[in-house]
Structure 1
Amino acid sequence: MLVETIATFGLMFFLFSVGVKMDTGMMVVPERKAMAISISVTFFTLALTSLLSVVLKKCVTMDASLAQSLTFIAASQCLTPFPNIACLLTELKILNTDLGRLAISSAMFCDILGISLTAVGFALAHNTDGSADGSVQTSVLACLSIIAFLVAIVYVIRPVVLWILRRTPEGEPHFVLGPLIFGLAVPDGPPLGSALTTKLDSLVTGLLYPTYLTVSGLQTNIFKINFQSSWIVFAMVFFASLVKIGAVILPACCSNMSVREAIIVGLMLNARGICELMVYNLWKKGNILNDQEFALAVISVIGVTAIITPLIRYLYDPSKLHVPTKRRTIQQARRDPELRIMHFFSSSLLAGPPPVLVAHQSQHQPQRTLETSNSWSNHIINALRQYELQNKGCASVQSFSCIAHFNTMHEDIYRVANDQTSTILIVPFHKQWAIDGSIGSVNRAIRTMNIKILDTAPCSVGILVDRGILSGSLTILNNRSVYHVAVIYISGADDGEALCYGARMAKHRYVTLTVIRFLLFGCHNARERKLDNDLIDEVRYDNVGNKGFLYKEEVVRDGVGLASSIKPLENRCDLIVVGRHHQESPLLLGLDAWSECPELGVIGDMLASPDHVSTASVLVVQQQKVGAKLLAHSSKQVFNDTGRREVFG
């Protein structure tokens, strides 16, 4: 009894936590495609499975108890709970994909329909009055009490909570309905929603939620099942799953979705979990299901989940959607007057709504106002818009806000980079500097994301080591007269990309560019040097007459000489641009022995090291990898003596 009480208490907290995390806007006003799928899935599944239950009761001999409960089991198949689908998609790491978002949005609207039908079903199921008039009156009063409870939550409790929030600095229905609806009334996201979910998640997911699942398992007696009853219930569940998939395909045909994508979304919406177990437990306590039917219902939940999970993994691999097929590099686009740069900023949220990708005002809108909210992201958006206004006619800015987990955020980055045909993607280094020159903070999640992006990005990539706080250049609106940029050129495709990016910067009237080419003493590799010479000569020719452009060569004997030659640049420049990979050269021998961040390459890691006292920011550039031998899925990964992974074509 004690364990069951704890389990029930845990279920209440779980439903409250789910309600806080849900975005009521997506529930009440979903996109048109999601609404069509939700209505189709809910009502087609309810109608056809109920019809099948009637046919089975008339045509198949079964126990009287099973015949009575078969209609309820059939009706339960129309439920498409948001928590089940969110948990499944999170486990499969496809929550923030296009189909994942569509499934989540559809499930949220399905929840409105499902909760309404379930509430009415409970009101009718618990009606035990013997008279017909009493039955109708009791059912109507039960439904009205639920409606009154909803109205009180929405129009009384929620305004009170919002009133409290505005004055707080930042930083008898069944028990099942109360926590969920009250959770929905609590505003999602910071400050209140985030704080609540952060404090509750460990307790709920670590103790209370597993306790409820354990109690459900203990109450499941598989030895009560007979074969005839099992095939009837399993046939019902299998039919309902097919109907859900078919109900998704129907509206998908009218919305430019492929049949394959519709089948995948249908499989996602077939996810089963704690919500079905909750309903079956309530029906068992209400004597709607006996031990045999309860066991069959629980096994059906486990069976459907075990089948659809590997099917979704097999049919849907979002990483294949972003495999590059065209060259998108600065070196290739150096003759193109337009350069599309995608810059990524990140901020950690304690908790929030489901993953979402939002495009702010389009660049084609003539009137673009500043964001008035005081959030961190709006400060960034406003700064970029101010930069656009200061450089009107020369630069245009399109801002996107994305809410996603770090382990899947690179998928959203790829999607935007592909949609905007970006030439280079710039991401932040995972370490941030304090004002005294020491490391202020380290974000391991960003480092993991950066490594994924370097491996599979659809365009060239730059990792920015920002030391602006040390030089006083904290904003793109800084009114400095001249910005000094240096490009370090040794050899290789990445150095060529860095050189071409620096050449684009040199066209700005307030930028001076110094290109330093390091040559190995006594080396005369004619073929490689000719390729490098051709690119350098072209860049020099394009900057004839540009007083802000300087090119020089330095001959060094080894890595020590290279490091000594680079050191004077560190405090004479605002930004140093360098390639990530270089061709094998004696110049680099020994420099990677103390490498801490191989994602920066040998030179980039040396420049970004806190041991090097410097105020210059560093941009490490990697050219896009395209082609059969250079694609991420077929690249050859080589580990050198230091254990550092390199990717070669």
Structure 2
Amino acid sequence: MVGSDTSSCSCAWHYLYLQAIHDVDAKPGRGKNVVRESHIFIIFVLVLVFGFLSEISSQHYLLGPLVFGFVVPSGPPLGSAVVARVDTLATGLFYPTYLAVTGLKTNIFTIDFRSYMVLGAIFFFASCVKVGTVMLAACYYEQTLREAFVLGLILNAKGITELVMYNIWKQTKLLSDQEFALAVVMVVAVTACLTPLIKLLYDPSQQFSATKRSTIQHLKRETEFRIMACIHTQENVPTVINILEVSNSTEENPVAVIALILVELVGRSTPVLVAHHPGDTIESSIGSSTSKSNQIIKALGQYTECNEGRATLQPFTSISHYQTMHDDIMRVAFEKRAHIVILPFHKTYAIDGTIGSVNRAHQSLNLSVLEKAPCSVGILIDRGILGGSMSVLTSQYIYHVAVIFLGGVDDAEALAYGSRMASHPNVDLTVARFLLFGEENCKERKRDTDLLEEYRRAHVGNERFVVAEEVVKDGAKLSSVIRSMVDCFDLMLVGMHHQDTPLLSGLGEWSECPELGIIGDMLASPDFRCSLSVLVVQQQRIAGKPISRTAKPVDKEPLIHDVPDEQVRSSWTITVNEGNRG
């Protein structure tokens, strides 16, 4: 039905991706965006020159560099290069030193009690007036009282700017020692009170808390499947494209790709969330030249062109600190009603299968998204580079997918995604169900059997949907069987958390990545020298609790596709362990 179109597009994908990279890299003038050391040196000299000009014009020496800073463009390439040179020195040495010197100049013993009371009353009255004014304006624009109050508190916060101003006034004798000490003490007191109060009253992620189901398992038939793919670098793109391909976009069940390019905030003060429109580039949207981001957008655009009428693309760019980047991810996922967010794993693999690099900021980001995401979440462990090919879907190649099923809501979500993939004419899906010996009459086991039976009926006539069962006695046998599987598949889907079972006892003691769960952490280990990519799935949590396991998959009618013959490939067979019976 869709096989010919999909296969031809898949066959051309590798060429189109390389062509997209070549087109962007070959842009005229691309080399002009390189910031040389001479440029940084000139900027530092100009800072001194403007400071000198301010002094000889009877102004404070800070005025000239401040005005010059407004002129220098923020963000990459120039702003980022400057920040990269001075950030560590400024924040690690100069900033704490300035605060320490300010503290040494503050003599609190010069302040009498009456001055404390008078100035405290003035600060309190001024703060109340500011909070009240902000709340009136915010309520006029239909903000909640809680958000309006927090906004007023934020506008009352004070920091380094006020301290610099007070130091200048002290140097120019506008403030006496007592007045300077009072001002510094009030800055410290206000900051100490407002910071924990704001954190207590305002959690930005709470506004994206979902109250309705947004999962793959509960997705209705003939409904658009919305996948949000988060991308850090262009190396994430090929495997993400393959995931999108096997997600089986059809005219009846189209796929909406919401691509969010994640860029660390460097060289600018304000985070930016940009929604790109057709024909836009990063340069036209945020005024900087980021060729890697352009490559990602163009490559994804080529994918949607190959699947015209079956797939759409909505690209975004989030430029933010990693500590707050999860807010942008959840905002876009919530507003676009995504069914799953796919995040890259924080570890990359070298060509020999060892861990190439580890980014702890990415790990913290993934943990934050997992905790509060308004939909299901998948963490993609990409070993595509080990396979030696950027494109795995062609008209002559069968993409082998496995689902590890032990039971639980997360495994049910992984099974639902795998079931959708099994409808693709070039996908061979094996559901590997592991059973604990001696629990034939377990209630949970019967529920899982009913769930699998639903999917069996949905794929009547589809020879590439296979359910295999293995009865094992302990975690050691489970680990051994999974290890024997990894060389037989291209992609493995596994739930993040599983129901309590003795099969997992002892396997989590050496876990390094809790966000992957026990099985996912085992598959991410460098001990598995294979080209297998893994997608670890967590089903949406509502109010921090999993959705009921008893919900049945919606698709109950058989999905029959004519598929080409499979090429010869190494096989793996699951058999019931008869020797353990009796």
2:223 is aligned to 337
Relative to structure 1, the CA distance from residue 557 to residue 182 in structure 2 (aligned partners, 3 Å threshold; closer, same or farther) is: same
For normalisation by structure 1, the TM-score amounts to 0.65
1:563 is aligned to 479
Q: Is the 8 A contact 1:485 1:502 kept in 2?
A: yes
What are the residue-to-residue correspondences of 1:123-202 with 2, within 5 Å?
166=33, 168=35, 172=57, 173-202=59-88
Structure 2 SS opposite 1:269? helix
2:359 is aligned to 443
The correspondence for 1:408, drawn from 321, 324, 340, is 324
Quick one: distance in 2 between partners of 1:312 and 1:512? 52
The correspondence for 1:575, drawn from 484, 491, 498, is 491
Relative to structure 1, the CA distance from residue 177 to residue 460 in structure 2 (aligned partners, 3 Å threshold; closer, same or farther) is: same
What are the residue-to-residue correspondences of 1:527-566 with 2, within 5 Å?
527-566=443-482
Q: Is the 8 A contact 2:264 2:320 kept in 1?
A: no
Q: Is the 8 A contact 1:354 1:403 kept in 2?
A: no
2:275 is aligned to 360
Gaps of 5+ in 2: 1-28, 41-56, 234-262, 284-288, 548-582
Quick one: distance in 1 between partners of 2:282 and 2:139? 38
Quick one: distance in 1 between partners of 2:363 and 2:113? 54
- Paired letter, 1:510: N
Structure 1 SS opposite 2:312? coil
Deviation at 1:177, TM superposition (A): 0.9
Q: Is the 8 A contact 2:265 2:320 kept in 1?
A: no
What are the residue-to-residue correspondences of 1:595-614 with 2, within 5 Å?
595-614=511-530
CA deviation profile, 1:307-347 (whole Å, cap 9, x unmatched): 32233233223343344422222212254532222222225
The correspondence for 2:128, drawn from 242, 256, 259, is 242
Deviation at 1:368, TM superposition (A): 4.4
- 2:182 matches 1:267: no
Structure 1 SS opposite 2:424? coil
| Segment drifting more, 586-595 vs 566-575 | 586-595
- 2:243 matches 1:327: no
Q: Is the 8 A contact 2:273 2:328 kept in 1?
A: no
Q: Is the 8 A contact 1:198 1:350 kept in 2?
A: no
1:495 is aligned to 411
1:303 is aligned to 189
Relative to structure 1, the CA distance from residue 207 to residue 268 in structure 2 (aligned partners, 3 Å threshold; closer, same or farther) is: same
CA deviation profile, 1:276-304 (whole Å, cap 9, x unmatched): 22222322333333333333333332333
Quick one: distance in 2 between partners of 1:546 and 1:617? 24
1:626 is aligned to 542
CA RMSD of aligned residues (A): 3.2
- The count of corresponding residues between Structure 1 and Structure 2 is 466
**Which of the pair has more CA radius of gyration?**
1
CA deviation profile, 1:198-256 (whole Å, cap 9, x unmatched): 33233323333333333333333444445565555444433332332233234324423
2:371 is aligned to 455
Deviation at 1:264, TM superposition (A): 1.4
1:421 is aligned to 337
CA deviation profile, 1:258-281 (whole Å, cap 9, x unmatched): 333222112111122222222223
Quick one: distance in 1 between partners of 2:474 and 2:34? 65
Quick one: distance in 1 between partners of 2:536 and 2:297? 24
Gaps of 5+ in 1: 1-161, 632-649
Q: Is the 8 A contact 2:264 2:321 kept in 1?
A: no
- Paired letter, 2:334: N
- Paired letter, 2:414: A
What are the residue-to-residue correspondences of 1:282-301 with 2, within 5 Å?
282-301=168-187
Q: Is the 8 A contact 1:322 1:415 kept in 2?
A: yes
Relative to structure 1, the CA distance from residue 289 to residue 326 in structure 2 (aligned partners, 3 Å threshold; closer, same or farther) is: same
Quick one: distance in 2 between partners of 1:625 and 1:289? 56
| Segment drifting more, 347-356 vs 614-623 | 347-356
Deviation at 1:575, TM superposition (A): 0.3
Q: Is the 8 A contact 1:190 1:350 kept in 2?
A: no
Quick one: distance in 1 between partners of 2:507 and 2:109? 68
| Segment drifting more, 307-316 vs 175-184 | 307-316
Structure 2 SS opposite 1:325? coil
More strand by share: 2
Q: Is the 8 A contact 2:352 2:386 kept in 1?
A: yes
Identity rate, percent: 53
More helix by share: 1
2:301 is aligned to 385
For normalisation by structure 2, the TM-score amounts to 0.72
Deviation at 1:461, TM superposition (A): 1.8
Deviation at 1:630, TM superposition (A): 5.1
CA deviation profile, 1:449-506 (whole Å, cap 9, x unmatched): 3233333332222111111111134359977743221112222222111111101112
